[in-house]
Chain A
Amino acid sequence: MAFTGLDDKKLLRAFLEEAEELLEKLNENLLELEKDSGNPDSINEVFRLTHSLKSESALLGFNHLSELAHRLEDVFDRIRGENLTLSRPLMDAIFSASDLIHEIISRISAGQIETQIDTRAVLGELKQLAGLELPGPSQQPLEAEAAVSAAPGSAELTLQPFHRLQISEALERGEKLFLLSLKVAEEAEIKYPRAYLVFNNLELITNVIQTVPNMTVPQDDRLYERIVILLSSDLPEDQILATCAVDLIEEPELEVLNRSRIDELMRQGDRVEQTAIRTSRPTGSARIESASVRVGTEKLNEIWQLVGELTIYKAQLTQLHDRLSRRRENESIKGEVERASDSLERITAEMQQAIMGTRMVPIAILFNKFPRLVRDLSRKLGKNVELEIQGKDTEIDRTIVEVLSDPLTHIIRNSLDHGLEDPEERKKANKPEVGRISVSAQQQGGKIVIEVADDGRGLDVAKIRKKAGIDSDISDEEAVQNIFSPGFSTKEDVTDLSGRGVGMDVVATRIREDLKGEVEVRSVTGGGTMIRILLPLTLTILHSLVISCAGYYYAIPVQDIKETVKVTEQNISIEGENEYYDYEGQKVALLRLDSVLLGPSAEPSSRGQETNGVVVAQRRGTACLLVDELVEEEDLVIKPISDLLNHRRLFSGVTVLGDGRIIFILDTARIIEIIESGGFDGV
């Protein structure tokens, strides 16, 4: 088996989940066909399901499984084409095949190897009944199939031909064969790591042939209560037993296998061959062990809602405790409330983390689409492209994945379509004929960074300057960011689009507005383009600063805040109708939040005195918001805000605090955008 890396394990898990679902549907449709053998919907569905199963299992190198699925697909292809009718015996053979598929998958799921099951009989039956041409018998290696249940005392130990080879080699070297069995004490909460320590010790000094359960790929932890290890060594027994000197490892027993025991082990194969299939008949009994569960998004959201409420009551309790501690009486109750409040705080935080974890998925589910996309598109365009993908395991909120899919696909399409030159042009430019596109993801602090880079011709800065009417004193680096400006690429001549980042304005809107992320571009003329996207880890929890202003409460995401400052008349300068705050020698727009939100008529809250200012920074600029009070920092569970309340789009969401207070979350990016475009003039 080629499953070594983390990637592969995740892939395997995903495959098993998927396969389980496919099998369920397969069973359903086969049962339907048994009732109504001509049902075209079911026939098509089975064809489709077996086809998916075939490709997916082949992808992971499960050739036996893939072959079985392939034959079934052939059978249903013939039925579809009305070259074959579903007879009773054929139906039986199909069911046998489906049972066998189920059996193989549950074995794979248990960490065993698929070749332990003989598929020949079933394939033969299918061939005979459906009149299929099967590939020659050499496809089915004769000796590789046997599953060996070894001698008593090692009942669970199954030997593959490879293991038998190892045994004979060891004996030839003059080593002895040992069977080591041990237990992990019941009080050990997690068993696998302890068992693994012994396994690791053994690996260092002996030749480990086989273990039950599998040690290299962790299984359900409960399985590691009792471990059997088959090994060969020329070391004395006490030295081998010394490897078991691990805390909470009990009753190590080392058995030297004598010649007859070894023969018994080795012979077992021939006998078992026939029984492997026959015992697998009832589909229902073979349970597929899966390390993960599929949960509907709806249910997840419901749990999420509950966690949100829990967070609210946690905050409420904390506040009650604070109020209580200001009074002198009830010392003992205070202590109790404090302890309860502390525990609740801890549990809520952990629960929040755990539930958040369930929302996270590896970005691989998105990235895995790209090789196919690049392959198909590069063929169509007649370009040679190599795609490199990094950071597939990076975890990201599943709601973000859904929204991100289209923009990211568009960016890659753009690179292929407009960024990369055709082979001729590349040759002329002294570039390798094969173009490169790399896609990567990684977590940096509280953000996910996704980069798509190509080594194509880069953006046409001159064109962009002309189109956007940019002054010459603005650097190229800044000028190219204009591809993200709303309406940029749709302005004029749609026929000549290359070099201008087609549709990037749409991409940017998606990323900035729907995902609360950032996007920027770097481009080297003739050298390539790189688009970088910064995304929040999750959209639903925001660490925020709660502030008050003119009797209302608002929250500002901490990630947007540069600093909180004290603003006095001295640091304010006035130019025309606008006010500016002198922030570290830089003049930044000053915004009185009360007038923005309540209109210029609002009673100025504290003009003239020292006021609290919050300096917020976004890509488009920096501003200082004048507020009444800085209240507290909180992790807020963000809820969407009704359009009815937000026609100026100044808020990105709303939330409820522990005491029932309703807080509006300020969309600082939008506020700065309005300032920059002069929208708050005279405020």
Chain B
Amino acid sequence: MGEKYVVFQIGEGNYSIPLEEVFQIIRYENVTGVPTAPTFVDGVINVGGDVIPVVNLRTRFSLERGEVTRKNRVIIVQKQEVRYGVLVDSVREILDLDQDSVASEAASVFGMKSEFVRGIVKIRDYLLVLLDIFRVLSTAPEVSIKE
């Protein structure tokens, strides 16, 4: 039995983060815009009295913004009491991943810089990028995530 991962889609790519980093998954609703915030921050969202920034991963990955649809989800990730919301196109599934099946040589799949990738897995008919989401979130706005 491996660790559980949340699989989501952004554009054509499939990405994944460990379930234990996820606090909650919610719909994209009631997002308040924030003046002075970087462009990839859509705004803030109120989760149980906490004000959490919502990062638009499409924008962060230099993709077109795209319409917000019913399939969009905000994944609330948490590390050391600090929470962020991550807007993704859709949440695909939750997977059990065996560490052995993860290719650790971080290839630049989907043009991602390797420091943001923890590994790559081949799942049935698609490739899955294990994302270091907190590194993505803590990287300065002007630094590109893509190569």
Contact = CB atoms under 8 A, between A and B. Distances in A.
B44 A308 contact: no
Contacts of B51: 639, 641-642, 654-656, 662
Given A309-B49, A645-B53, A662 B32 contact: yes
Given A660-B30, A664-B34, A644 B41 contact: yes
Contacts of A550: 35
B52 A642 contact: yes
B94 to A, nearest CB: 26
Contacts of B30: 660
A598 interface: yes
Interface residues of A, number: 24
A277 to B, nearest CB: 50
A316 B37 CA distance: 28
A645 B46 CA distance: 14
Chain A interface, DSSP helix/strand/loop, else mixed: mixed
Nearest to A305: B49
A312 interface: yes
A597 interface: yes
Contact of B46 (A597, A598, A650, A660): A660
B36 A647 contact: yes
Interface in A641-683: 641-642, 644-648, 650, 654-656, 660-662, 664
Nearest to B51: A654
Is the interface on chain B under 10, 10 to 19, 20 to 34, or 35 or more residues? 20 to 34
A3 to B, nearest CB: 41
A645 B49 contact: no
Contact of B53 (A642, A655, A656): A642
Contacts of A646: 36
A308 B51 CA distance: 13
The residue in A312, A647, A655 that gathers the most chain B C-beta atoms within 10 A of its C-beta is A647
B36 A644 contact: no
A196 interface: no
Interface string B29-65: 0101111111001001010111111010000000000
Contacts of A641: 51
Contacts of A305: 49
Interface of A: 305, 308-309, 312, 550, 552, 597-598, 639, 641-642, 644-648, 650, 654-656, 660-662, 664
The 5 closest A-B pairs by CB, nearest first: A597-B35, A654-B51, A662-B32, A642-B53, A644-B53
15 contacts: A309-B49, A552-B35, A597-B36, A598-B35, A639-B49, A641-B51, A642-B52, A642-B82, A644-B55, A645-B41, A646-B36, A650-B36, A660-B46, A662-B44, A662-B46
